[in-house]
Structures are given as structure tokens and as C-alpha cells.
Chain A
Amino acid sequence: MSISALILLLAILAAFGFFIGRQKIHLQYKLQSDKPRITTLPKYFGYVAGLAALIPALLVLLILEVAETPWINHQISQEINTGLSVSEVQSSSDLDLFLNDIKNATTDREVAALTDEKKVIHEHYQRIVNTAQWGKTAVVLSLSVLLGLLALKRINIDTRARVLFEKTLEWILLAAASIAIMTTVGIVLSVLFESVRFFGDVPVVDFMFGTEWSPQTAIRADQVGSSAAFGAVPLFVGTMLISVIALFVSVPLGLMSAIYLSEYASRSVRAVAKPVLEILAGIPTVVYGFFAALTVAPFIRDMGESIGMSVASESALAAGLVMGIMIIPFVSSLADDVMSAVPQSLREGSLGLGATRSETIVKVLIPAALPGIVGGVLLAASRAIGETMIVVMAAGLAANLTANPLEAVTTVTVQIVTLLTGDQEFDSTKTLAAFALGLMLFITTLILNMIALYVVRKYREQYE
């Protein structure tokens, strides 16, 4: 039975439990002669029975669903290793390929195209899959029916059904809130696990301080031009270079925009300008990437050539400029927030002493808002470091250790994308390297965000 059908069936069982539960209480009440004061609405008895039939069964279904594929793989490889001897299978990677062929044959025609040896295994595979399917269905459904019946039997007119139901609901709400933790754990484990495997092949020191990056691993020992080197310094430098250019664009522009909007602009100007600035943050990054690669980069190259400079067609400058425009709203809205949080009395004091508005802003407002502004800049920096599509489309692919913004550089995110797209197996050093880069990226941005949030929060408490 397919998973969607199973879930549907569970829902039907739960609804059934609800009606019977409610009906039971109705009946009990009718049968009682003295008609006591009832503390709970009948529908809550139904809810209790329905949840008992639904929630545990759903959880078990989820677990079984997760465990199914590994279990099937284990079973079939066991059978191949012990009972059936297969000439094609020599090593574990052979086994994977072999199993893939069998699993991919789903239609009759595809099955007919298999070799005889595979046909035999395919039959075994089908049997195991069927067993798993039926086992799963039986376990889940019987659990649902069993618990539903148990709940129905236990509830009677004196049960505090509402309290029971609300307690359960609270646990469900808590579980929903905990998904954030599970996601974080998932991220950390997935990048950490693969990174550890990577650092088994490549020493951490080589990765962190090596200056040569060429991830093409040699397939044969004597292959030319494929000496793998995993020194990530050029990627870090490239990322930094592009991020610094982006910040050089976004910090002054964002800050000045925020100052103008919060201190000078009239209400109507603000009402128009603020949302328009926010549009910049809402445009998909792939659009910026397209614009950077097809319009800005050629423009910069032509400009450079017209004054006799050689500019790479995928220059760090183009990617950085466009990224800088993209993060203007992040800087400006945060700066705007912290500046409007500065108490009016500070402004009035300064203006009252005869300072001009700009003097008030530069000498009073900005120093007072500085921690918040720094926090905003740090958040923008972490955006720039983690930004992917603009650099994938407009920065280069070749690792180039340079500080010249007119040359092509590559970044951490670009390398993650190039290493992980296309056909690949997931146990080569090359693909594992992407996870190590992902780990670096995660840690860097995490630290930056933590510092930024700390700075912003600390500042905000000063006036309260």
C-alpha cells in the first residue's frame, strides 16, 4: 500500500474513532438516570480517541518509512552474499551498481531487458519489497486500531478528556517548535559527518592553509593534469575580495539612504522610497546573477579596455558591485531601525545647542547608533559570504590567488556548487570537499551572525 493511501486510511480510522468516542459519551449520558453535571464537552472524548488512533501510528509510519530503504538494501545484499552467488558482484561498489539496475527496472519491459542473473535477484528484491510494504501496512494499521480501541475502552463520562486532549496538543505544538533544533542538528551532522571523512583524506592544515585548489582527482595514477590539491586559501581570499567590494558599495549607500530616509525625508517620500529599496532585497539572486554576468561584467570589461586596462570577463568587481547593490536594503533597514531608536531628546539637545542637522547626525546620532550599525554591517557581510547565485553566474571557476578586483576569482559557494552538480558518486574526496567547504561557510556565517546579534542586542538595552 502506498504511503499516501496509508495516511488516508489512518485519517479515516481517526475520524471513525472520533465519532465512536463522541457517541459513547452521548450514550453513557443518556443511560445515566440522575443526569450529573458533565465537565467536558462530548467532542473532546472523540478527539482523544481520534488522536490515539492517529498520532502513534503516524510516528511509527514515519520511522518505518525512513528505515525501509536501508533495511531492504541490507536484506538483498545479505541474500546476494550468502545464498545467491552473482558473478558480476566483486566489491561493494559493484553491489551498489548491480542493485541500482535491479531497482530501476520497474516496468515489465525494463524487467525483461535484464540479464537472467539479474532477473533472479529482481524476483528476490520484489519479494523483499512486498514483505516490507505489507509489514509496514500491517504494523501501522494494527497499531492504529489497537490504540484507538484501547482509548475508546478507557474513556468514560468521568474522564477529564479535555485536559488530556489539550496536554497532547501542547506536546504536538512543542514538537513543532523543536523542528528548528532538529534542522540545526541535521545541518551540523550532515556537513560534519562528510567533512570528517574528507579530513581523513586531506589533512586539515593542508585544507586551511594550502594555496593551491584543483579538485580534479586523478582516476588513474598516471593521469596527466589531475593532481588533486585541496588548499582552500584562494577560495577564502576570493570570497573575501568579493564580499569586501560588496560592502564597499553597500555600506556607504545603505547608510546614507537610511540617514536620509529617517532624518530628512518627508513622510510621503519615505512611504515610496522604503518599499522600493526593499524590492532590491526581494529580487531573486539568480536575476542579479544574470544581470551581473550579461550586462555589468561586459560593461566593466569594455570600460576597462577603453582606458587600456585588461579586465577579465568574469571579474570580481562585477560580482561584487551587483552583490553590493543587492545587500543595500539589509544595511539600510537595520541602520534605519537603530537610528530611529535613538531618543529624540539627544537630537533636540544637539540641535538646541546650534548644531546643524548633519552635525547632529555625524557627531551624535551615528556614535549613539554605532553598535547597531556595526551589527547591520556584519549581518550584511555574512549575507555576502553565503551568497551563491550571483557569484556562480558572474565570478570565475578557476581558483586564483589574487587581490586584484579586475581578475576572475572563485568563491567557497561557487566551488560547492561546481563540486556537487552533475553526475558524481558521493564517496570521492572531490564531493566530500564540498561538505568541508560547507562546514567552513556555516561556521563563518554563524560566528558573524552571533557577533552581530550580540552587538545589536547589547546596544538596544542602553536606553531602556
Chain B
Amino acid sequence: MNNTVLVKKGLKKRYLKEKLFKSAGIVSIGIAFMFLLVLLTDVITKAIPAFTQTQVTLTVELNAEALDLNQNSSVDDIMQADFRQPIRDALKKRFDGVTKRNDKKQLYSLVSIGSEYQLRDLVLEDTSLIGTTLTYDFIADDDVDAVIKGAIDRELPESDRRVKNLKLSWIEEMETSGEIDTAFNWLFFSAGDSREPELAGIKGAILGSLYTLMVTLALSFPVAVAAAIYLEEFAPKNRFIDFIEININNLAAVPSIVFGLLGLAVFINFFSMPRSAPLVGGIVLSLMTLPTIIIASRSAIKAVPPSLREAALGLGASKMQTVFHHVLPAALPGILTGTIIGMAQALGETAPLLMIGMVAFIVDIPQSIGDPSTVLPIQVFLWADAPERGFLEKTSAAILVLLVFLITMNAVAIKLRKKFEKKW
């Protein structure tokens, strides 16, 4: 009797504890989810402005004499011509009465320094423009861009504001007359890196990532599959094989930066391979992803039922024929899934590539695996460090592009696994 009372007395407390414990689990998952949500919202909201670009509409007079060009000028001549002057003239004409040196400087800085190259490219494409007057949307300077997008508070006192009153009045005047507007930022996807935020793009980084991943895939896939086949199907049980297995497991847990040190000491210093090149980056990353793919491939091969092997062997196939004609095709979906996941890891990796010099500022878009280039994560790292405000949105946008690639790769991997999932 006494015991029942005691138990009943304790029950309430125990049930409360039970509830608390369960809710602690929900709360911890909730915290992780919330963090992910905050991170993604933060990145996305910061990134959105990067996909539009402010443009300034100007009417430019391409005076043939002043440019020293004619309809039949050669490409070289056009490249040499001074296209800065017509833009300045157009600005001066739009806001006449600007005479002071400092004011003029501010006036000219309404458009990006890239605008003269825009003009030059127009002329290069169509020489009949020489001698005519044309109206065109030029890229605005990053400060103008920031004002239009609301990143610079117009209400702030002038002394605290990056854009001074005079310039602001011009911007507002052009804004009301419709000469300043925003358009989709194609340049972001078609340009290389730049010191000017309004001109910077990620094409160079995307191509660099692509080349690096190509090298990584070409090296790690065949080697990893071969290693997995050997270890699962042919390896005898001995010390040497144990040693190989221990090494593979260890490599999977070695910090990535140590692989960077290996790349620096061995490939760059010892073999004198080119710095900053996707070739070296790809080699280093392939050594890193090798364990991941080997481990995934091994479990895929292991999952192929022995009956398949026995049937092939029973019909007189050799061990090698059994493996290459029957086991490997059956395991391939699993191997591919592991490979895609390994590639996704390699795509997001930054630290080892810092060591081999892929952190250099590179404007040119790489043409081959031997050219200096950068990769997406490093581009993020470089831009995150840049002091100009315009780079903040570029960084977030580059992160977004990186995440889109990663999510696509993972989705493909999941799809592949689902499609080929077999119950033997």
C-alpha cells in the first residue's frame, strides 16, 4: 500500500521530466534548423541586390575627329582611342555649370570606370557608330548603385555620408527623370574579378572551379574505383592490406589544410608545378576526396550479392571478368553517388587551395587547367575581405551560386540513389 502511494506521488514528477527531456530534443533540433534558416535568409537577403545593376543613361557624341577614328579604323586603333572623353563630355553637357575641379571629379564618378570600355566594345562591334550620337545605359559607379539600392542612407548628415550632397542631388535629379534605372546584372555572370565592385563577376571563379573539379574527377574517380575493387574483391588478408586500409581511414580524417601543405611542399616547391593553377588544385583535392569515394565505392561493391558473382564464376568467367562485367555495373550507381558527394566536398573546399596560391587576385578568365585562376569558395573569401560595401552583396551572391551548385549536385546524387536503389 505504502509503495503504491510513493510511486503515485513520484509519477507526476517523472512524467514532467519525461516531457522536459523530449522537448529538449525538439529544442535542439529547432536551434539547428533556426540557425540554418537565419544563415540562408541572411545570405539571400544580402545577395538579392547583387543581381541588379544600376545604370546611367547618357547621350554620348562619338566625334570622329576627337576620337581620331573613322568608319574603317582597325581594331588596334579603336583599342587605342580615348573613349573616356566622350563620356565626360556627355556628363558635362547633362549637368552644365559644373566648373570646379573637385565637382567635376564627382560628376565623372557617376559612372563606373568600366563605362569607357563599354563604349569601346560598342564601337568595336559596330564601327558605323563613329561620328554618330548614341544613347546608352552605362554602368553606374558603386556609390550611385548603393544610393539607389538604399544601402546609403540619404537622410544622414552630409559629413557622415559617403555620397555628398551635390552628387546626391544629381542622382536624385536623374532618378526622377528616369535616366537612372536598374537592370539585371549580366556582368556578374560574364566578368572576371575586379577591384571595382560594380565590374566584378564570377565567371572566372566558376570556370576555375570547373577546371579544378575536372582534374579532381579525372584523377580520383578511376583511382578510387580501382582501389575499391582491389580491396573488396582481390585483396588478400595480410598486414600490407591492413596498412592500406588504416591509411585510407586516416586520410579521410586529416584536416584539409594539411593537404594544402602537402601540395605546397611537394607539387609547387619540389616538382615546380605552376602556382594558382587548377591543375595543382585538382591534384590536391583529388587526394582529399579519394578516401570518400573509396569508402562509398567499397560499400556499393559490398552490397552486390554474392549470388551474382557465383553465377558468373559458375559459368566459367574469370574473377576479373566477373568483377568488370557484372559486379562493377551493378555497383556503379552507388559509386557514382559517392563520387558526386566527394565532388561536392571538393567544390566547397577552400583551405588547401589557399596554400597553393589560388588566393591570388586574378582578373583574366582562365582558359586551361594550367592558367592561374581562382575558385568559387576562394572568390567568396577574397570578396568577404574587401572593404568596399559593394562587395558585400557580391560575396553573398557568390555564396548563393555556390550553394545552388552544391544543392544541385546533392539532389542529383539523391535522385540517382533513389532511381537505382535495388533490393537484391
Q: Which residues of A contact B (CB under 8 A)?
A: 66, 69, 162, 166, 169-170, 172-174, 176-181, 183-184, 186-187, 190-191, 193-194, 252-254, 256-257, 259-261, 264, 273, 276-277, 279-280, 282-291, 293-295, 325, 328, 356-359, 361-362, 379, 382, 385-389, 392-393, 413, 416-417, 420-421, 426, 434-435, 438, 441-442, 445-446, 449-450, 453
With both beta carbons as reference points, the residue of chain A lying nearest to B345 in the complex is identified as A282
Which residues from chain B contact A356 at a C-beta distance below 8 Å? Answer: 14-15, 17-18
Out of A173, A184, A357, name the residue touching B229 (CB < 8 Å).
A173
Which residues from chain B contact A173 at a C-beta distance below 8 Å? Answer: 226-227, 229-230, 234
With both beta carbons as reference points, the residue of chain A lying nearest to B402 in the complex is identified as A284
Which residues from chain B contact A295 at a C-beta distance below 8 Å? Answer: 38, 42
Once the chains bind, are B227 and A176 in contact (CB under 8 Å)?
yes
B side interface size, CB within 8 A: 84
Out of A179, A392, A434, name the residue touching B261 (CB < 8 Å).
A434
With both beta carbons as reference points, the residue of chain B lying nearest to A176 in the complex is identified as B226
Out of B27, B230, B350, B406, name the residue touching A174 (CB < 8 Å).
B230
With both beta carbons as reference points, the residue of chain A lying nearest to B385 in the complex is identified as A393
B75-83, B178-186, B194-202, B262-270: which lies at the interface: B262-270
Assembled-state Cα–Cα distance A426/B270 (Å)? 11
Once the chains bind, are B350 and A426 in contact (CB under 8 Å)?
no
B5 is an interface residue with CB less than 8 A from chain A = no
Q: Give 9 CB contacts A-B under 8 Å.
A: A177-B226, A186-B266, A187-B261, A276-B33, A286-B384, A291-B43, A328-B32, A445-B253, A446-B250
Out of B227, B243, B251, B257, name the residue touching A386 (CB < 8 Å).
B257
Out of A254, A279, A358, name the residue touching B17 (CB < 8 Å).
A358
Which residues from chain A contact B224 at a C-beta distance below 8 Å? Answer: 176
From residue A388, how far is it (CB to closest CB) to chain B in Å? 4
Which residues from chain A contact B319 at a C-beta distance below 8 Å? Answer: 166
Whether A388 contacts B320 in the complex (CB less than 8 A), given A176-B227, A253-B32, A287-B403, comes out as: no
Which residues from chain A contact B349 at a C-beta distance below 8 Å? Answer: 284
Which residues from chain A contact B403 at a C-beta distance below 8 Å? Answer: 283, 287
Give 10 closest A-B pairs by Cβ, nearest first: A386-B255, A260-B25, A284-B348, A190-B265, A176-B226, A358-B21, A173-B230, A388-B351, A256-B28, A177-B227
With both beta carbons as reference points, the residue of chain B lying nearest to A66 in the complex is identified as B271
Assembled-state Cα–Cα distance A257/B377 (Å)? 29
Q: Which residues of B contact A (CB under 8 A)?
A: 14-15, 17-18, 20-22, 24-29, 31-33, 35-36, 38-39, 42-43, 222-224, 226-227, 229-231, 234-235, 243-244, 247-251, 253-259, 261-262, 264-266, 269, 271-272, 287, 290-291, 294, 318-320, 344, 347-351, 354-355, 357, 359, 377-378, 380-381, 384, 392, 395-396, 399, 402-403, 406, 410
Which residues from chain B contact A285 at a C-beta distance below 8 Å? Answer: 348, 350-351
With both beta carbons as reference points, the residue of chain A lying nearest to B271 in the complex is identified as A66
Which of B222, B271, B350, B357 has the most CB atoms of chain A within a 10 A radius of its CB? B350
Once the chains bind, are A261 and B29 in contact (CB under 8 Å)?
yes
From residue A185, how far is it (CB to closest CB) to chain B in Å? 9
Assembled-state Cα–Cα distance A325/B357 (Å)? 29
Whether A416 contacts B261 in the complex (CB less than 8 A), given A441-B255, A442-B254, comes out as: yes
Assembled-state Cα–Cα distance A382/B249 (Å)? 14
Which residues from chain A contact B344 at a C-beta distance below 8 Å? Answer: 282
Which residues from chain B contact A445 at a C-beta distance below 8 Å? Answer: 253-255
Out of A177, A282, A361, A446, name the residue touching B235 (CB < 8 Å).
A177
With both beta carbons as reference points, the residue of chain A lying nearest to B42 in the complex is identified as A295
Out of B31, B231, B249, B264, name the residue touching A177 (CB < 8 Å).
B231
Once the chains bind, are A446 and B320 in contact (CB under 8 Å)?
no
From residue B360, how far is it (CB to closest CB) to chain A in Å? 9
Once the chains bind, are B32 and A172 in contact (CB under 8 Å)?
no
Which residues from chain A contact B290 at a C-beta distance below 8 Å? Answer: 179-180, 183
Assembled-state Cα–Cα distance A252/B24 (Å)? 10
Q: Is the interface of A mostly helix, strand, loop or mixed?
A: helix
From residue A390, how far is it (CB to closest CB) to chain B in Å? 10
Once the chains bind, are B29 and A187 in contact (CB under 8 Å)?
no
Out of B32, B244, B272, B355, name the residue touching A180 (CB < 8 Å).
B244
Whether A294 contacts B384 in the complex (CB less than 8 A), given A187-B261, A286-B377, comes out as: yes
From residue B301, how far is it (CB to closest CB) to chain A in Å? 12
Once the chains bind, are B258 and A441 in contact (CB under 8 Å)?
yes
Which residues from chain A contact B251 at a C-beta distance below 8 Å? Answer: 180, 183-184
With both beta carbons as reference points, the residue of chain B lying nearest to A356 in the complex is identified as B18
With both beta carbons as reference points, the residue of chain B lying nearest to A387 in the complex is identified as B255
Once the chains bind, are B18 and A386 in contact (CB under 8 Å)?
no
Once the chains bind, are A449 and B350 in contact (CB under 8 Å)?
no
From residue B23, how far is it (CB to closest CB) to chain A in Å? 9
Once the chains bind, are B255 and A287 in contact (CB under 8 Å)?
no
Which residues from chain B contact A277 at a C-beta distance below 8 Å? Answer: 29, 32
Out of A174, A193, A325, A385, name the residue touching B265 (CB < 8 Å).
A193
Once the chains bind, are B227 and A290 in contact (CB under 8 Å)?
no
Out of A257, A421, A450, name the residue touching B32 (CB < 8 Å).
A257
Inter-chain pairs besides A393-B384, A417-B354, 5 sampled, C-beta below 8 Å: A172-B226, A179-B227, A190-B265, A256-B29, A291-B42
Which residues from chain B contact A416 at a C-beta distance below 8 Å? Answer: 257, 261, 355
Which residues from chain A contact B287 at a C-beta distance below 8 Å? Answer: 179, 183
Assembled-state Cα–Cα distance A185/B262 (Å)? 10
From residue A310, how far is it (CB to closest CB) to chain B in Å? 24
Assembled-state Cα–Cα distance A438/B256 (Å)? 11
Out of A252, A362, A382, name the residue touching B253 (CB < 8 Å).
A382
Once the chains bind, are A413 and B320 in contact (CB under 8 Å)?
no
Assembled-state Cα–Cα distance A256/B351 (Å)? 31
From residue A33, how far is it (CB to closest CB) to chain B in Å? 28
Once the chains bind, are A264 and B381 in contact (CB under 8 Å)?
no
Which residues from chain B contact A178 at a C-beta distance below 8 Å? Answer: 244
From residue B211, how far is it (CB to closest CB) to chain A in Å? 15
With both beta carbons as reference points, the residue of chain A lying nearest to B33 in the complex is identified as A276
Once the chains bind, are B262 and A253 in contact (CB under 8 Å)?
no
Once the chains bind, are A289 and B384 in contact (CB under 8 Å)?
yes
With both beta carbons as reference points, the residue of chain A lying nearest to B234 in the complex is identified as A170
Once the chains bind, are A393 and B257 in contact (CB under 8 Å)?
no
Assembled-state Cα–Cα distance A194/B269 (Å)? 11
Once the chains bind, are A177 and B395 in contact (CB under 8 Å)?
no
From residue B9, how far is it (CB to closest CB) to chain A in Å? 15
Assembled-state Cα–Cα distance A17/B366 (Å)? 37
Which residues from chain B contact A177 at a C-beta distance below 8 Å? Answer: 226-227, 230-231, 235, 244
